[in-house]
Structure 1
Amino acid sequence: MRLLIIRNPVAGQRRETFFQDILDGLRMRGCAVDILETERPGHAAELATANGGKDYDRLVIAGGDGTINEAVNGLMRLQTSVPFAILPLGTANVLAIEIGLDFKKREAVLDYLMGGRVRSVYPAQVGGRHFLLMAGAGFDAHVVDGVSSRLKKMVGKLAYVWCMLRLYARGWTRRYDVTVDGERTTAHSVIATNAQHYGGAYKITDETSLLRPGLVVVLFDSQRRVDILRSAIYLALNKLGELPNVRCLTAKEVEIHGGNDDPLQVDGDSSMTLPARIGAGERSLAMIWPTA
């Protein structure tokens, strides 16, 4: 089996030993492995576009959810591409959790990379950019925007907790105009999700899947500190949809206005701003999933 690994060396610094163990395991199992490392933001997309149509059996994206997002955007530029797999090396690794990959166990990852099955996934899109997980405006987007890469390298997920507590202490006063499949409403925070999980192993909805087109729009109707705290607790308990001030709507398209130039987080990366139009996926990509 011939594998091409596109690796973000920055995202993998905290799991360097694990990455090397995976490489050794692949070669011991007879794989021919080529490695290309990213050198700057956006480079993973360029490398995926340039190599996604070449004669490899699988393209492996090694990094965090942001690196995977970049590579997916590169592959979407091609008419057809090599099936892609992921080697999770990031902070949250939400996509790995979404597909049920036990990414902390060496043998499980090796079995997945070599023996996983090909399935069709449907990236959603916003402003010409595709995403597999979610796009969010409001409280979570400001948290993501406030996390420095230096702090994330030092303390991992705790960097997000720190920024969340800091924003929580200041109070939340934003309100956005939201249009969901033509129906207008308002909300203090909005998450349009293509996946069931959010922020890690927390389940935000059961009503969507990467394996079919469609979004779930999660609308947070309260800005009170007590309700923000309650939302965080219910999310941790996988019961967010039970809150009366949280609405979950299935949708094909959602528009978010207000707070112009407010950050929009896409797959955990704050590189876009409002206003935004988010649409369900229309074209699929071939992705490797665990067999179990």
Structure 2
Amino acid sequence: MSPIRIASFIALVGAMSILGADFVTSVAHADEAQDHHQQAILFKRAGRFEEALAEAQAAIRARPNYAAAHLTAGSLYRELGRLRPALGCFNAATRLQPDNAYGWAMKGALHLRLRQWSAAVAPLSQAVELDPSDASSWGNLGLAYRRTGDAELAMDAYRQGLRVSPSDPGLINNLAVTLNNARRYEETIILLGEAIDQFEANWQMHLNLAIALRSAERCEEAIPHYRQALTLNARHEGALFDFAICLEIESQADEAVRVYRQYIQVVRARDPAAAARAQERVDALGGR
């Protein structure tokens, strides 16, 4: 072999060696990131969140564009109550993997936890566009719209969620609250009248139905639902006062006095004015 050919061959082998080294290094880094991420998941499942977070951060250092590791780190920051760093991780995940509905759902849910209602709308809208079967994100989107004052869009979101998950009590109750707030009581009565048998132990459902019935001037029908709601959650202030009003309207004075007194015991220390108003009703009904 001529000296020129030998030199060319050596140069080629050298170049291949360099490329091979780069390839091996790249694979090693990829494996390192994945190993750290898997360990983070194992620690997370064991409830060892600080150790899990350290592993997730190591995975990100090994591969900064590792979207799954950013999501895991974000969920761990959230578990640890460190919400601002969590939001940074979810922002990175959605930037790196914009077609992943889960990342948008996590980002939107965190905005809700931070009470950033308007900021939650866009990521949650993106989440349900990418994955219309995600009932949880439909519910969160409904909450975001309700908190920003857009009741119609909130109702639409809750109804979309119920198409996916027709028996979700959270979606049913949130739609009922939104309907009640919009004074669409008959719609609430229909909605909850169809659902209540399936959720007999759900005090919120009984309370929302009772509120709708009382507001529709159907106190006699509301009373058993107030009673059931209070059997399941005996110290709910609003339910106690409204229940007493219904009893008074239906001329059940003795029980009304008993419920007003129970209400007074619950609110006296925190709200003396409310307790005084209830005492006025007790006095008017002849109770002492």
Which structure's residues are more often helix, by fraction? 2
Same fold (TM over 0.5): no
What is the TM-score with the length of structure 1 in the denominator? 0.24
Greater Rg over alpha carbons, structure: 2
Question: Which fold has the larger relative contact order, with Cα–Cα distance below 8 Å and residues 6 or more apart in sequence?
Answer: 1
What is the TM-score with the length of structure 2 in the denominator? 0.24
Which structure's residues are more often strand, by fraction? 1
